[in-house]
Structures are given as C-alpha cells and as structure tokens.
C-alpha cells in the first residue's frame, strides 16, 4: 500500500517566517513537486488529509505553506494590498521555492489560491508545467459578493471567530478581515485574472462545483477563454465551494489523470 511521509519546516520570508509542510509518496513517480495554495480562511492544517492523498494519487511530493498572516506563519505587517493575489508569486511562493531548491513545479490552488496559482504560472513561465485551479475566482460577480455577505453575517454570530482562532491564533480577526474586508472593498471590485491569463502557456485543469456559493461556471470559462495554453474545465454536479472535501476521490482521480 502506498504511503506519504510528512516533513515540517520553516522558511525565512522578507517579512517573516513561513510554515511549510510536505508529503512525499512511496513510491514516487515524478521529481516535479506539486505546490498547493490554501483559500482565504485556510492554512496547512485545514487541508486535513487531502495533501497526503493527493501525493499518493499523483506519485509526487506535495508542498503546502501557510501564507504570511495565516496558520503558523508570522503575522502580516498591516492590511493586504489590492494586488495581493498577484504579489504572492513574487513574495511567499518565490521565497519558499528558492529556499527549498524547487526548479520545475505544478501548482494547485483552491479558491483565492487558484488565482495565486495562475499568477505563479504566468510569472515563472516554463518552470510551471501545469496548473490546477479548484473553485477559483477569476473576477468579481454578484454571486461572489452575495456569498461573502452571507459569510460575514455568519461570522457576526457569537463564537464564530473562535473557530478561526483554533487554526490562526490571535491572527484570526486579521484573517477574517483580509477576506471579507478586501473582497467587499469597492476598490477591489474591478479585479480580474483576465489580464494575466494570456501569459499562462502550460495546461490548466479548472475544477468547479456547479453549486459553488462564491462563483458560477463563468469563472472557469473565463480561464479557458483567455489562457494561452489549453484549459480543461471539469464541472462537478451537486458540489459547492470545496470539491476536495465534498468529492475527494473524484478530485484525486481527476487531478491524477490530468497530470499523467
């Protein structure tokens, strides 16, 4: 039976330390690692058992890290800038890649992490051999705003922020504002992946739940329309914003088949 060995480490970023965890499968079928990007409220721990299963399914080392301000990484110095999605490629990801000695790579991003994965592919060109987006927002639509507004009302209820403190500690309030405050800011309303997609020339797999409460199928279709390389859209029926939790085996099989 295949297994995955876990390793925890830290890298020194330009504004603080980043926590990194990797899963290495036995046997390993590819030397090109798969780097995964968490969502707006996520962190390494909140991936739960998915990275180990992904490592085994793909035969690749899987690497996850807590972005600055999240999980076990150091606090973020101030508010997120409007270009934080694009900036991750040249800050946290670039730091981790350099210190871990990663050359070629595959990226997998969930939700906002999907936009970060797209930007990494655009920034590093041929070093990125493939991209997988899962529930990625490609622009701001009414469903996105409505979903975030509903989440804001939920987090106003007593005890809800405590759920985040379990994973983010005293950074929980910052994490919540970095999501809700940023995405509902009128200055962010015109954000889109469209300008950067023509720079992505590697193959893309765009996984999206038909019932995603934060974005319709217009998001993966925009990725397919504007990316320079080939894009395969995998729409999942009866699935919301977290396919890797709701339909884990389907996601694993789909990603492994795509990478082969």
- pLDDT tens for the chain, 260 residues long, are 679 999 999 999 889 999 999 999 999 999 999 999 999 999 999 999 999 999 999 999 999 999 999 999 999 999 999 999 999 999 999 999 999 999 999 999 999 999 999 999 999 999 999 999 999 999 999 999 999 999 999 998 878 888 899 999 999 999 999 999 999 999 999 999 999 999 999 999 999 999 999 999 999 999 999 999 999 999 999 999 999 999 999 999 999 999 99
Distance CA(7)–CA(20), nearest Å, equals 8
Here the tokens at position 27 are 């046997």
DSSP 216: -
The confidence score (pLDDT) of residue 187 equals: 92
- Judged on CB neighbours under 10 Å (0-12, 13-18, 19+), 93 is buried
Q: Does domain 3-259 have CATH number 3.40.50.1820?
A: yes
Alpha helices of the chain — where are they, by DSSP H?
50-58, 84-87, 92-100, 112-124, 142-155, 160-168, 172-183, 218-226, 243-246, 248-259
Three-class SS of residue 215?
A: coil
The confidence score (pLDDT) of residue 1 equals: 67
Q: Give 47's contacts (C-beta < 8 A, 6+ positions apart).
A: 36, 38, 64
Q: Give 157's contacts (C-beta < 8 A, 6+ positions apart).
A: none
Alpha helices of 7-141 — where are they, by DSSP H?
50-58, 84-87, 92-100, 112-124
Cβ proximity of 95 and 11 under 8 Å: yes
Cβ proximity of 65 and 136 under 8 Å: no
Tokens 């270009």 belong to 83
Angle 197-199-201 (CA atoms, 0-180°, nearest 5)? 95
The confidence score (pLDDT) of residue 153 equals: 94
The confidence score (pLDDT) of residue 159 equals: 82
């Amino acid at each position: 039976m295949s297994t995955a060995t876990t390793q925890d480490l830290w890298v020194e970023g330009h504004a603080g330390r980043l926590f990194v965890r990797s899963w290495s499968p036995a046997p390993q079928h590819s030397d090109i690692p798969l780097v995964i990007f968490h969502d707006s409220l996520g962190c390494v721990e909140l991936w739960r058992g998915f990275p180990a299963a992904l490592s085994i399914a793909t035969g690749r080392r899987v690497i996850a890290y807590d972005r600055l301000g999240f999980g076990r990484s150091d606090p973020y110095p101030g508010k997120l800038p409007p270009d934080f999605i694009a900036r991750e490629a040249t800050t946290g990801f670039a730091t981790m890649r350099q210190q871990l000695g990663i050359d070629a790579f595959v990226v997998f991003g969930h939700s906002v992490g999907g936009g970060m994965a797209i930007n990494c592919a655009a920034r590093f060109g041929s070093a990125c051999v493939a991209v997988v987006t899962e529930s990625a927002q490609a622009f701001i639509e009414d469903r996105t705003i409505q979903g975030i507004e509903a989440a804001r009302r939920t987090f106003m209820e007593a005890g809800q922020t405590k759920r985040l403190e379990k994973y983010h500690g005293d950074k929980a309030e910052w994490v919540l504002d970095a999501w809700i405050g940023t995405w509902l800011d009128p200055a962010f309303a015109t954000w889109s992946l469209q300008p950067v997609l023509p720079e992505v020339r590697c193959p893309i797999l765009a996984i999206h739940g038909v019932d995603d409460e934060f974005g319709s199928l217009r998001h993966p279709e925009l990725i397919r329309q504007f990316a320079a390389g080939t894009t395969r859209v995998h729409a999942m029926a009866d699935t919301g914003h977290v396919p890797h939790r709701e339909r884990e085996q389907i996601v694993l099989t789909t990603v492994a088949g795509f990478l082969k």
